Amino acid sequence: MRNLAILFFSLLLISACSTAPTTSEVPSEEIAFESPNIIFIMADDLGYGDLGCYGQSEIQTPNIDELAAQGIKFTQFYAGSTVCAPSRAVLMTGQHTGRTHVRGNAGGDSKRQSLRSEDVTVAEVLKDAGYQTALVGKWGLGEPEQEGHPLEQGFDSFFGYLNQRHAHNYYPEFLWDGRDSVSLDNVVERVGMDRGGFPGGYATEKVTYSHDLFADKALAFLEEEYSKPFFLYLALTIPHANNEAGKEGMEVPDYGIYADRDWPEAQKGTAAMITRMDKDIGRIVETLKAQGIDDNTLIIFTSDNGPHREGGNDPDYFDSNGPLQGIKRAMHEGGVRVPFIVRWPAQAPAGVTSDYIGYFGDMMATLAELSKTDYPDNTQSISIVPTLLGQSENQRSHNYLYWEFYEQGSRQAARMGNWKGIREPMFTGDLQLFNLEEDIGEQINVADQNSDIVEDIIQIMDEAHEPSPFWVVKQ
C-alpha cells in the first residue's frame, strides 16, 4: 500500500507539472524526508554581484556567504521579472509573466496590481498542506480592500507594507499588522501620488527604521512554538532606494563599518544597508539553532530583480551586476539573473554550486513537493527538489524561460538552453540573440548568424504570451 501511495503521489506531481515546458522528464528516485520549515528571504533590488559569495569585494556579507558555504549556490537562477510587482506575482503563482495576472508595476491600480481570488499562491498551497504561514515585509500585490490582500492569499499573518510606493520610505508613519494600521513615531513629508492614490514620502523626523521592525518581527515569529511546520516569507526592502528622497534615497540609520570610507554618501548607504541585512540573517540562523529547528529548516535567499540606479546609487561603483549586462528594468541578464542560495542542513549538500537554469516560478512545484501536496495545473513550474536532495542527475529542466515587460516601450526575453533572445519592443522589434555560454555579458548579437535559433525563440515568445486586457503594448 505504501508503494501504491508513493506512485499515486508521483503521478499527481507529474500531472501538476504538465504545463511546465521541459526538455527532460527524469523521475527522481525516492528519498525520504520530513517536510521542512521554509523561510524564503527576498532582498529588494540586490544585484547578482552584491554578495561576497558571488564575487563582491567591498560590501561585507559574511552570514549570507556562510549560507552558500553550507548549502547550494545557484549561478543561473532568475527572478520572475525585472521589476518588483510582477516578480513577486511569478513567485506567488508559479506562472511566468506571459500568463500571470500582475505583469508590471501598476502604481496601485486595483485591476492590474492586485492578485485575484482565483489566483492560487504558494502560501495557499502550503496552508492547505498544514503549514503556519506568515508574511513580513513588502507585499505589493493587493491593497487593504482588495482580493490580493495577503490575508486573502493564504497568509495567516502579515506585518509590513502593502503599497510599493509606501515601501519606498524606510521611516514611514505607519505599517500594516494584518488589516490594522500601526502608527510609528516618524514624521513624513508626503510627495506625489501613485495610481492607487497613495503618496510617497520621506521622513523629516527619523526615529523607527522599518527594516529593523521586520527583522524583530521575523525573529519573534521564529521564537514561537509550533506543532506543525511553518512558512515565513520575509520580503525585505533593502537595498531599494527611497525614490522620493532624491539623492539621499539610500536610507539607513548609520553607515556602520563604512562610515570612514572615502566613498560617495549614497554608496556608503548602499553598503551599510546590505551589511545590516546580512547581520539580521545571521540572527535568524542563530535563532533557529537556539530553538533546535535549524537542521530541518530550509532557507532560501534571493533578490526580486537586478540592481538599481535610484536614490543616488550607482550600480557600477560596486560592480553590482558582476559579469552581467544591465540593471533593473533591463531584459539583459543583469536585470533578471539574481543570487539564489538554498540551505537545508538535514538534506541539501553543502558547498555545492548549481548551474540549474530556473526561475521564481519553480517555487510553486518545489514547495508543493517539499510539503508533500499538489498544486494547480496551470503553472509553468518545475520542482528543484532533486537538486536540493543532491540528485542533480535526476533534475527535470525547462525548455525555455520567458519574461515580458511593459515599461520603456516594452520588451520581452526568452532563454532556451544557452541561447538568450531579447525583443524590443514586444512582438514587433528585431530579435537580439546571445550565446550565454560564450558571452555571459551579452556583448555580441549573433542573430544574423543563427536564423534558425532566432525563429525558434520568436516562436517561443509568441506561444508564451497569453493576451491580457489589462496589459496591452502601446503602439
pLDDT tens profile 67-122 = 999 999 999 999 999 999 999 999 999 999 999 999 999 987 878 999 999 999 99
**What one-character DSSP code corresponds to residue 471?**
B
Give the 3-state secondary structure of residue 226: coil
Q: Between these two residues, 28 and 247, which has the higher pLDDT value? A: 247
Half-sphere exposure at residue 236, Cβ-oriented, CA atoms within 13 angstroms? 26
Matching residue, cell 523521475: 27
- In SS3 terms, 129-192 reads as CCCEEEEEEECCCCCCCCCCCHHHCCCCEEEEECCHHHHHCCCCCEEEECCEEEECCCEEEEEC
Kindly state the average pLDDT of the residues 268-288. Answer: 98
What are the pLDDT digits (tens) for 301-353?
A: 999 999 999 999 999 999 999 999 999 999 999 999 999 999 999 999 999 99
33-394 — its CATH code?
A: 3.40.720.10
Instruction: List residues bridging with 72 in a β-sheet.
Output: 342, 352
Residues 6+ apart with CB under 8 A from 456: 416
Q: What is the pLDDT of residue 107?
A: 85
Residue 427 C-beta-side C-alpha neighbours within 13 Å: 12
- Relative to beta strand 77-78, strand 132-138 is unpaired
In 3D space, the residue among 99, 116, 141 whose CA is nearest the CA of residue 379 turns out to be 99
More confident residue, 16 or 362: 362
Query: What pLDDT is recorded for position 110?
Result: 78
Q: Parse the chain into domains and list their residue ranges.
A: 33-394, 401-464
**345 and 85 Cβ atoms separated by less than 8 Å:** no
Q: What are phi and psi of 473, to 5 degrees?
A: -70, 130
Cis before 307? omega within 30: no
Which stretch of DSSP H or E encloses residue 43? strand 37-43
> Given CA atoms 339, 363, 331, 241 in this order, what sign does their dihedral have?
negative
**3 state DSSP class of 188:** strand
Residue 48 has pLDDT above 50, yes or no: yes
What whole-number distance in Å separates Cα of residue 243 and Cα of residue 60? 25
Nearest to 354 by CA among 382, 380, 384: 384
Cell numbers representing residue 412 in the block: 520581452
Domain 401-464: which topology?
Arylsulfatase, C-terminal domain (3.30.1120)
* 475 band by pLDDT with thresholds 50, 70 and 90: low
